Amino acid sequence: MRTMFEELAAELIAELNGSEVLLLNFAGENSDFVRWNHGRVRQATNVVQRTLSLELIVGSRHAHSWFVVSGRHAADLERGRAALRDLRSAVEDSPDDPHLLYATDVQNSERCEPNQLQPTEDVLDAIAQSADGVDLVGIYASGGVCRGFANSLGQRNWFEGYNLNFDWSLYHVEDRAVKCAYAGSNWSSQEYEAKMRAAREQVERLKTKPRTIAPGRYRAYLTPAALSEVLDVVAWGGFGLRDHKTKKSTLLQLATGEKSLDERVSLVEDTAHGFGADFQAQGFVKPERVTLIEQGKFANCLASPRSAREFDCATNGASSSEFPQAASLEGGSLANHRVLAELGTGVYVSNLWYINYSDRNACRMTGMTRFATFWVENGELVAPLKVMRFDETIYNLLGSHLVDLTQEREVILDPGTYGGRSTASVRLPGALVDEFLFTL
């Protein structure tokens, strides 16, 4: 795909006139998708797709276009030329954009990860064997993804990576199920089988009569999957430069020093160990790490080129959404095998659902428990709990009420496939907290 992209880019750049500047972004994938139901393969397919986007810039005016790359060079080149003609017309009618910013210092880069994926057939055999006797439903996705950038100033960037993501549930009855995920750059039978054993044990517990507890504050453990749902909401308006400069950030109290988190909380945008490209659509190369929260204090924003130009700051290669793409939270001192013992009596929360802000200014969230949430007594899973609503602030969860974070962290890859497989990920520990508030 790289040769295909670079040849198209070179020929389209040769078509430019005068002061025109062209930015080109290429996205490609070769993915296997396998759908499971009742522990059996119900649908298996392979998807190969490529798209090329063009941004034509004249002074401070610009316009965008994109098309699907077929792989037939002559046809793709003609599509590109047609797109370029349309963009010229669009630019003529476009107003000046005061916040336009793109890379003008040439920074070439290449990052090609080795393909360590096992053959899909072997993985499917392993899943089928592990699913014997249980109702497994889910999606397995794996394969290579690539991203390319080129501009008429001479810059060339290329990323190529390989990953897998198995997102599945073990279903018991009605609304009772255990939801699991396993992601990475290669398939580890040992890690997967450990997850499956734990899921099978929890399914057996789901057969116990569900228990109801009164609303109130309880000691609770949030798995990495549950914590990822919390972080996903916090990242929505929490780290963007524009949100901070306009005083709309949900973490404004943290940024101003009015509030803080536990000093054990350190969060970084860890591009170097993520699954996505280390450059972005305007050609800026991302730093390997951007520290967002350091020892409980706010450190840095994610600054997209547009926000950087608008507020006269430096960009750090963030996307236009200024949303973390490879967030990584440092672990603590709690070993996984000690989680139930340290929880003692309380609530084990496997997943959270339907989370939204109940008070954006206070970074307070509300949501529901779902899937395999258990009542624990004396370090033992006793019974599943009926669905409950919680309402908590990040300053409690990762601040004054935080007991500990697990030593081990889990990689969670965004399972989204709308328009293409997502490369966004998080690497998170679990969190043991006191006085977690359930409201009903």
Q: So where are the chain's domains?
A: 2-201, 216-438
Q: Which residues lie across from 68 on neighbouring strands?
A: 51
Q: Both tokens of residue 61? A: 């005016």
Q: Both tokens of residue 366? A: 């509300």
Gap between the Cα atoms of 437 and 215, Å rounded = 8
Residue carrying structure tokens 């109130």: 216
Gap between the Cα atoms of 283 and 102, Å rounded = 6
Give pLDDT, residue 174: 80
pTM recorded for the entire structure: 0.94
φ and ψ at residue 280, rounded to 5 degrees = -130, 180
Cβ atoms of 196 and 393 closer than 8 Å: no
Gap between the Cα atoms of 395 and 27, Å rounded = 39
* Cβ neighbour number for residue 380 with a 10 Å cutoff: 14
Give pLDDT, residue 175: 79
Give pLDDT, residue 173: 85
For CA atoms 120, 124, 130, 135, the dihedral sign is: positive
- Any idea what DSSP says for residue 300? -
Gap between the Cα atoms of 353 and 123, Å rounded = 29
Q: Is 92 exposed, middle or buried (0-12, 13-18, 19+ CB in 10 A)?
A: exposed
Cβ atoms of 278 and 289 closer than 8 Å: no
CATH superfamily membership of 2-201: PmbA/TldD superfamily (3.30.2290.10)
Give pLDDT, residue 1: 93
Q: What is the pLDDT along the chain (440 residues), one digit of tens a residue?
A: 999 999 999 999 999 999 999 999 999 999 999 999 999 999 999 999 999 999 999 999 999 999 999 999 999 999 999 999 999 999 999 999 999 999 999 999 999 999 999 999 999 999 999 999 999 999 999 999 999 999 999 999 999 999 999 999 999 988 789 999 999 999 999 999 999 999 999 999 999 999 999 999 999 999 999 999 999 999 999 999 999 999 999 999 999 999 999 999 999 999 999 999 999 999 999 999 999 999 999 999 999 999 999 999 999 999 999 999 999 999 999 999 999 999 999 999 999 999 999 999 999 999 999 889 999 999 999 999 999 999 999 999 999 999 999 999 999 999 999 889 999 999 999 999 999 999 98
Give the CA distances from residue 294 to residues 222, 265, 326, 347, 421, in Å, rounded to whole numbers and listed in that order. 21, 7, 16, 29, 31
For CA atoms 257, 261, 264, 268, the dihedral sign is: negative
- Any idea what DSSP says for residue 239? S
Q: Side chain identity at 92, as an amino acid letter? A: E
Gap between the Cα atoms of 303 and 245, Å rounded = 11
The H-or-E segment that residue 230 falls in is: helix 224-235
Gap between the Cα atoms of 340 and 348, Å rounded = 8
Give pLDDT, residue 312: 96
Q: Both tokens of residue 135? A: 């109702």
Q: Side chain identity at 6, as an amino acid letter? A: E
269: left (phi over 0), alpha (psi -120 to 50) or beta: beta
φ and ψ at residue 439, rounded to 5 degrees = -100, -25
* Cβ neighbour number for residue 28 with a 10 Å cutoff: 21
Q: Side chain identity at 302, as an amino acid letter? A: L
Beta-strand (E) ranges in 152-276? 156-173, 176-184, 216-222, 267-270
Task: Look at strands 374-377 and 402-405 and give their pairing.
Answer: unpaired
Nearest Cα to Cα of residue 92 among 67, 52, 57, 53: 57
The H-or-E segment that residue 136 falls in is: strand 135-151
